[in-house]
Structure 1
Amino acid sequence: MKKNRLGKSDLQVTELGLGCMSLGTDKAHAQKIIEAALDEGINYFDTADLYDFGVNEEIVGKSLKQVRDQVIIATKVGNRWNEQKDGWRWDPSKHYIKEAVKQNLKRLETDYIDLYQLHGGTIEDNIDETIEAFEELQAEGFIRYYGISSIRPNVIREYAKKSNIVSVMMQYSILDRNPEEKVLPFLHEQQISVVTRGSVAKGLLSEKALEKASPSGYLEHSYDELQQIITELQEKVADSRPLTEVALRYNLANPAVASVIVGASSIGQLQENVKAVNSAPLTKEEVALIQKIARAHTYPAHR
């Protein structure tokens, strides 16, 4: 599988990363999916302390322990569970991040994290303090590189200006082209890679398509708009290749995107995603046609 450099780092990530959130808590089943991902050549695994109260990190760490030097583990920090474990609060403070990383490392059974990501963020945060925490963790050897997970243009600009982030994880798909307006061109110019999630739009851009549609639609699209867009995509672009393939290759057609992070709840689903990413890139004509079919929207806030 093709690999791309993540920002200005020396991390080479596969074009498909395994989003581990959907693995569940059945450790044996989850491990089989992770092992299948390794067999398919995937080297990039994305988790977070928030997933299943940290159990997800434990599963990922144990499953990858024997191949630790061959893989890239990305996890996230900033959402702090309460004592009852029935809710969490946002805490991007330096004190919390530097304490939380110890638990991340313990659950992952590793001495270092390849990519440590802030799991959100607002413009009201003490961004300088947060950056200081990540810089110190990097200097101390606990993390190799850091990034943020955010869809907010104003937050992304601040981190791009003030920090050494190598990546931004964000939602991006044919049905959510908001990042194309300002964020993707800006990050590409800054040599900060984008790692995408939500590329199949909750299954709408898969073979199940409209079976997954809500009567209220998806984001800014009404149900009728979805029906029209998906039908046109199937007839004009996905006539010779699966819709999932079109969706994942559309993300990778943008020069800012280094990898698409996709979850899998079965080995079969994982293999379908691998086949989609390993397929031929979209032509310029196909990309233009997709953009004509699925209109772009703009961010209404956080500008």
Structure 2
Amino acid sequence: MNYRTIGNSDLLVSEIGLGCMSLGTEKNKARAIIDRSLDLGINYLDTADLYDFGVNEEVVGSAIKHRRSEVIVATKVGNKFDHDKEGWSWDPSKAYIKKAVKDSLFRLGTDYIDLYQLHGGTIEDPIDETIEAFEELKKEGMIRYYGISSIRPNVIREYVKKSSIISVMMQYSILDQRPEEEIINLLSENSVSVIARGPLAKGLLTDKWREKISTNGYLHLSNQELTQSIEALQKSLGERHLQEYALRYCLYQQAVAAVIPGASSIEQVEDNVKSAMSAPLTDEEVNGIKEIIRADQYQQHR
């Protein structure tokens, strides 16, 4: 397994992480998946307090209790869910963040979080207050570093300018190249890393893509464009699998610290690791991909 440093921190994470949202709520199954991930060299686990209304953090915490020192734990905050588990509301206030971190620490069964991320955000938020909360948590030792999870250019720019974030989690894949148009260069220039979520585009960038395709297409690609594009990609693969192309495409960018496909089985973890450890893409391969898939730009939140 190869490892990369997140931003200007001392967090050295595996190029392939484990997105924990798909683990489910059965602790023994989740522990088996996480144990296999760690055995394969994955050390970066990403969860959130919102997933399964906190149960996901409990599941992850139970699974890593005996191996905490081997794991970089990332979780998220900002979506306040009610105790009846009927919904949630957005709350990036300092008071809520400082309360929520204690709840996450308890559920995770740990006394520190390696990477604490704001789980969304808008330009109308009290951004200075939110940053103040994260900075205080760092000083108090509850978190080691913080970042944001966002695809809003205006929000990302504010945090890059005002805070000491080390990462921005964002959707990024062959089918969603929007970060390349303006965000990745900005982050790279400021020593902030990308954590790439959705690298397999909901299964569309795997060999089972025909089972995943819908009549609605994907983002700016119509169903017809999507089908034609993936078929063209497959013809250009040579001996590679589509999943290899997808994960290695994200890792081609040096600003990307890790890609975090989800997994709900040990087999999926093994497939992800095998794909991520394949040979890096060449410049020629990347240029070929860009000729097949037309890029788009973020249309909102400028």
Q: Which amino acid aligns with 1:180?
A: E
SS in 2 for 1:182: helix
Offset, 1:206: 0.3
Offset, 1:88: 0.2
SS in 2 for 1:263: coil
> C-alpha root-mean-square deviation of aligned residues, in Å?
0.7
CA–CA distance in structure 1, aligned partners of residues 188 and 293 of structure 2:
23
Deviations along 1:150-194, whole A, 9 cap, x unmatched? 000110000000000000000001111111110011101111000
Counterpart for residue 44 of structure 1: 44
CA–CA distance in structure 2, aligned partners of residues 159 and 32 of structure 1:
37
Counterpart for residue 296 of structure 2: 297
CA–CA distance in structure 1, aligned partners of residues 105 and 211 of structure 2:
40
Question: Does the CA-based 8 Å contact 2:23-2:263 persist in structure 1?
Answer: yes
Deviations along 1:131-155, whole A, 9 cap, x unmatched? 0000000000000000000000110
Q: How does 1:9-48 map to 2 (within 5 A)?
A: 9-48=9-48
CA–CA distance in structure 2, aligned partners of residues 169 and 244 of structure 1:
20
1:227 paired to 2:227: yes
1:252 paired to 2:251: yes
CA–CA distance in structure 2, aligned partners of residues 24 and 270 of structure 1:
14
Q: How does 1:112-261 map to 2 (within 5 A)?
A: 112-236=112-236, 238-261=237-260
Counterpart for residue 276 of structure 2: 277
Q: Which amino acid aligns with 1:195?
A: I
SS in 1 for 2:159: helix
Counterpart for residue 104 of structure 1: 104
SS in 2 for 1:260: strand
Question: Does the CA-based 8 Å contact 2:27-2:62 persist in structure 1?
Answer: no
CA–CA distance in structure 2, aligned partners of residues 210 and 159 of structure 1:
39
Offset, 1:26: 1.0
CA–CA distance in structure 1, aligned partners of residues 95 and 173 of structure 2:
35
CA–CA distance in structure 1, aligned partners of residues 11 and 253 of structure 2:
19
Q: Which amino acid aligns with 2:158?
A: E
Report runs of 4+ in structure 1 exceeding 3 Å deviation.
none
Q: Which amino acid aligns with 1:81?
A: F
Question: Does the CA-based 8 Å contact 2:43-2:71 persist in structure 1?
Answer: yes
CA–CA distance in structure 2, aligned partners of residues 228 and 256 of structure 1:
30
CA–CA distance in structure 1, aligned partners of residues 210 and 178 of structure 2:
22
- Superposition TM-score, scaled by structure 1 size: 0.99
Q: Which amino acid aligns with 2:252?
A: A
Question: Does the CA-based 8 Å contact 2:27-2:63 persist in structure 1?
Answer: no
Deviations along 1:1-26, whole A, 9 cap, x unmatched? 11000000000000000000000011
Q: Which amino acid aligns with 1:134?
A: F
Offset, 1:209: 1.3
Q: Which amino acid aligns with 1:263?
A: G
CA–CA distance in structure 2, aligned partners of residues 268 and 84 of structure 1:
34
SS in 2 for 1:215: coil
Counterpart for residue 268 of structure 1: 267
SS in 2 for 1:117: strand
CA–CA distance in structure 2, aligned partners of residues 299 and 203 of structure 1:
22
Q: Which amino acid aligns with 1:241?
A: R
CA–CA distance in structure 2, aligned partners of residues 283 and 111 of structure 1:
42
CA–CA distance in structure 2, aligned partners of residues 136 and 230 of structure 1:
47
CA–CA distance in structure 1, aligned partners of residues 85 and 208 of structure 2:
34
Q: Which amino acid aligns with 2:140?
A: E
- Superposition TM-score, scaled by structure 2 size: 0.99
Offset, 1:239: 2.7
CA–CA distance in structure 1, aligned partners of residues 243 and 220 of structure 2:
21
Identity, in percent, stands at 64
Offset, 1:53: 1.1
CA–CA distance in structure 2, aligned partners of residues 244 and 171 of structure 1:
16
CA–CA distance in structure 1, aligned partners of residues 298 and 47 of structure 2:
27
